[in-house]
Structure 1
Amino acid sequence: MFNRFKSSSGKDQTELVISTGTYFRIAFLIVATILGLSALKTMAHSLVLIFIAFFLALALNGPVSWLARRFPGKIKGSRSAATTASFIIVVLLLGAFLASLVPPLVKQTESFVKAAPQLVRDISTQNGPLGDVVRHYNLESQLNKAASQLGERIKNSSGQAFTTVKSVGSSVFAMLTILAMTFMMLVEGPRHLAFLQQLVPKRRQAMAARVAGDMYRVVKGYVNGQVTLAAMAAILISPVLFWFHVSYPIALVFVIFICGLIPMIGHTIGASIVTVVALFTSTQAALVTLAWYIIYQQLENFLVQPRIQANSTDMSPLLVFASVVIGVSFSGLLGGLVAIPVAGCIRVAVLEYLRAKDMIDDNPEIKKEVTEALS
């Protein structure tokens, strides 16, 4: 590629010669990169579903293995039977949640939509501050016009309803796809892991098994910690709902638990839903519920969650908090959900690399001396 020659002045010079084959290889790499990025963009939604299914399979592997070991008779140790039983339990819980939430939600939404125009008209007759403002500035005609327009929009909302139904159908299909892939990953997981282990050179199999085990423990610890936090939130927030006799408190407890599984920002979503439902009971109930939720959220985000996740994933509270912030900035809700286990797995890989290069020492005495020096 490099040719040396002497110029007419007698000085040595180097000439770079690029062959035709090199041009073709560079062009091929550029085209392949563009096509690969385009394919990734096209498959982004499918890859997200596969990633979620993989994450769920890792999280459910522990309960499935525990259940398989405790089956009696011929089915003892059967992952297919254990996975089927686990999915039946999950589907029953999900069905109970939907049965307790969807019918009253649809009924209340329908009632609110029908009553919305009249509620707008009634503002001018109220004795509160809002009614006083309407009467003081003679806004009755504008209010009646807005109520009429609202009624017309509700009557002509069939197109929006179709779009909503289509969106719900897509979400249901995505959920079923995730459940199906998770089921197959749980059943076939050990066989695929055994095949992958055969691809690793024998001298590195012990190291690979150790890294994989540490990463699995990180994910398992994260799931256990997040479930603990979600259950704690549901238990501590639910008394407010029962105290003010908020409608459908059992369904709202499920909502609090599901939203609590999302780190850092899950309670913001849950607080919005619960507060809106409490508003149908009374303004006082909504305000107290929102205030209680906010207080609990702040205590959990800054005191409880970092410590629980730090203990369950063997990461410092600062690393837990920073990983969630980075994950949300990269990929929104999904990024925040998987940020902690991904950061934990990266930490495991980095530590193993540093150990292999003899760049760190796991001696507990050295760790103790460093901690005392920094304290």
Structure 2
Amino acid sequence: MPPTLSSAKTRVALRQSARVSLELLLVLLMTTVVLWGLGQMWSVVWPLVVGLLLTTLTWPLARVLRGLGWPPALAASAVTVLFLLVVTGIVALIAVPVASQSGELTDRVTEGIQQVREWASGPPLNISDAQITKATDTAADRLQSSAGSLVTTIVTGVSTVIDGVVTAVLALFLMFFFLKDGPRFLPWLTRQLPGRLATDIPVVAARGWDTLGAFVRSQALVGLLDAVFIGLGLWALGVPLVLPLAVLTFICAFVPIVGALFAGGVAVLIALVSNGSTDALIALAIIVVVQQLEGNVFQPMIQSRGLGLHAAVILLAVTLGSSLAGIVGSLLAVPVAALIAVVWNYLREQLSHPPEELENNEQHAGGAVVS
């Protein structure tokens, strides 16, 4: 006779399932509220995040200076000034060669446009000058008809640039204060929190800080690999402005997806107008190969070692972050995933039985069964 379902066990299972579902709904609701609150305070949260990331990059030097006996304020000031000098030097390293060769590049861009026009006028396209002129006039008419939206776009772009400058300035000031007063934060936080939180939150914060440092270092290493390999490829092809392009590639590595596309597009464009279509295609192939190796091999391997995350988790996190919040989401996806892993691992440690307690429970359960 086949076994029948127990009504008592079924009711218990349903009650447990309902309780777990309700708890999950409450957790999701709380998560949604927290994310909504962060979105409302994004103008403050984003400079704070950037300041923390910059601090993880500059803290090793500040720690060395403090270890040599420098006062905290002096060490933080020196590191901040040095950081500004390095950033200014990088900008000059890009701008000066570009400015010195801008005339030549402009002439070659004009020649390239003329070559494309001549190629389009021949077979198989056979586009005449009259058709090109007509298309140009149509584009001009559309541009004039959409002048209002163009002005709106320009205003939005200017507003975005201003917001970026304000964010950079705030992040720089926050970096200075983090470098100056950072070591005093956890003791202060311990004194402010009650009970068990005074132990748990500082430990999680310390581990999260180490994780952010690992993320910034790994991202810098990935950007360095990109810059070196792409720079060597462009140098072998004889493309001008190799050093500025390599520096641009390194900087853009900190902005996932769009940064790589922008840096690669600039390199291919310069190769096209300076060396011709053949070298431009070779440069494009080099950039695609290096970026594929970086995205699918180097970055997952390096970040998985530094952050304690599997390579597949990193790839999925970047995909999810970019789909939810675009460029900012893809930039913050990996550190957020690593911080979630830090919190989860700490919770597992606190909720797990110590080995001695687990062994005693097993012995007690075994004795109960025997008796």
- Normalising by structure 1, what TM-score? 0.70
Among the aligned pairs, what percent are the same residue?
21
Q: Which has the higher helix share?
A: 2
**Cα separation, 2, equivalents of 1:348 and 1:326:** 19
The amino acid across from 2:90 in the alignment is: F
**1:348 Cα deviation from its structure 2 partner:** 1.6
Q: Is residue 259–residue 267 contact of structure 1 (8 Å, CA) maintained in 2?
A: yes
Structure 2 residue 49 is the aligned partner of structure 1 residue 51: yes
Q: Is residue 117–residue 151 contact of structure 1 (8 Å, CA) maintained in 2?
A: no
Q: Is residue 227–residue 249 contact of structure 2 (8 Å, CA) maintained in 1?
A: yes
Correspondent of 2:121 among 121, 125, 131? 131
In the alignment of these two chains, the number of paired residues is 317
* Residue equivalent to 1:68: 66
* Residue equivalent to 1:334: 328
* Residue equivalent to 1:184: 177
* Residue equivalent to 2:268: 275
Structure 2 residue 161 is the aligned partner of structure 1 residue 172: no
* Residue equivalent to 2:284: 290
* Residue equivalent to 2:209: 216
* Residue equivalent to 1:237: 230
The amino acid across from 2:45 in the alignment is: L
**Cα separation, 2, equivalents of 1:232 and 1:318:** 21
* Residue equivalent to 2:22: none
- Match runs of 1:11-90 below 5 Å: 43-70=41-68, 76-90=69-83
Q: Is residue 253–residue 260 contact of structure 2 (8 Å, CA) maintained in 1?
A: yes
Structure 2 gaps of 5+ residues are 1-33, 356-371
1:123-181 CA-to-partner distances (Å, cap 9, x unmatched) read 66x3x4x23149945x2223245567889989x9x979975666545433332222122
**Cα separation, 2, equivalents of 1:258 and 1:227:** 9
- Normalising by structure 2, what TM-score? 0.71
**Cα separation, 1, equivalents of 2:106 and 2:152:** 14
**1:311 Cα deviation from its structure 2 partner:** 0.9
* Residue equivalent to 1:364: none
* Residue equivalent to 2:5: none
**Cα separation, 2, equivalents of 1:106 and 1:119:** 20
Structure 2 residue 337 is the aligned partner of structure 1 residue 348: no
Q: Is residue 121–residue 129 contact of structure 2 (8 Å, CA) maintained in 1?
A: no
* Residue equivalent to 2:27: none
**Cα separation, 2, equivalents of 1:344 and 1:205:** 22
1:218-245 CA-to-partner distances (Å, cap 9, x unmatched) read 1111111111111111111111222223
**1:256 Cα deviation from its structure 2 partner:** 0.8
The amino acid across from 1:140 in the alignment is: D
Q: Is residue 257–residue 327 contact of structure 2 (8 Å, CA) maintained in 1?
A: no
1:40-91 CA-to-partner distances (Å, cap 9, x unmatched) read 6664333322222233234433332123213xxxxx1422222222222222
Correspondent of 1:320 among 314, 325, 337? 314
Is the deviation greater in 242-251 or in 291-300? Answer: 242-251
**1:254 Cα deviation from its structure 2 partner:** 0.7
Correspondent of 1:143 among 132, 135, 145? 132
SS of the residue corresponding to residue 122 of structure 2 reads helix
Distance 1:45 1:277, change over 3 A: farther
* Residue equivalent to 1:12: none
Distance 1:162 1:322, change over 3 A: closer
Distance 1:118 1:223, change over 3 A: closer
**Cα separation, 2, equivalents of 1:166 and 1:292:** 36
**Cα separation, 2, equivalents of 1:81 and 1:356:** 40
The amino acid across from 1:252 in the alignment is: L
The amino acid across from 1:331 in the alignment is: A
